Amino acid sequence: SDAAGLLTLAAVAVIGSLIIFTLRVNRTVAQTDVAHH
């Protein structure tokens, strides 16, 4: 059960990091679009 809990925490951490990463990329892309236009 400990291994399952660690896997769950790892999955949540990875998913959270991906969400934060995509949000940052979207913000930078939006800023560059505004700057170019």
pTM more than 0.75:
no
Q: What are the Cα distances from residue 11, in Å, to 14, 16, 25, 30, 34?
A: 5, 8, 21, 28, 35
Please tell me the total number of residues recorded for the chain in this structure. Answer: 37
Amino acid at 4: A
Quick: pLDDT tens for 4-21. Answer: 999 999 999 999 999 999
pLDDT score, position 37: 66
pLDDT score, position 18: 98
